[in-house]
Amino acid sequence: MTTADDCGDGEVEPDSDLRNFGETLKACRKRAGLTQEQLAPLVRYSVQYIGSVEQGRRPPSAKFVERVEEVLDAFGVIRIAAKRLYRRRGLARWFRRWAQYEETAVTLNTYECRSIPGLLQTEAYARAQIRDVPPLPTPERAEARVVSRLARQAILGKTPFIAFSFIIEQSVIERRTGGPEVTRELIDHLLECAKLPNVDLQIMPTISPEHAGLDGPFRLLETDEHEWVGYTEGPQTGQIIADPKAISNLHQQYAKLRIQALNPADSMGLLMRMRGSL
| pLDDT score, position 90 | 63
| pLDDT score, position 11 | 34
| pLDDT score, position 86 | 60
Cα 227 to Cα 159: distance, rounded to the nearest angstrom: 20
10 Å Cβ neighbour count for 234? 13
Please list, in sequence order, all residues whose beta carbon lies within 8 angstroms of the beta carbon of residue 101, skipping any fewer than 6 positions away.
221, 223, 229, 240
CA angle 264, 269, 275 (to 5 degrees): 125
| pLDDT score, position 88 | 60
| pLDDT score, position 259 | 97
- Can you list the residues of the chain whose pLDDT is less than 50? 1-14
* Phi-psi map region of 178: left, alpha, beta (phi>0 left; psi -120 to 50 alpha): left
| pLDDT score, position 56 | 85
CA neighbours closer than 13 Å in the CB half-sphere of residue 235? 4
| pLDDT score, position 221 | 96
| pLDDT score, position 12 | 38
Cα 116 to Cα 201: distance, rounded to the nearest angstrom: 12
| pLDDT score, position 15 | 60
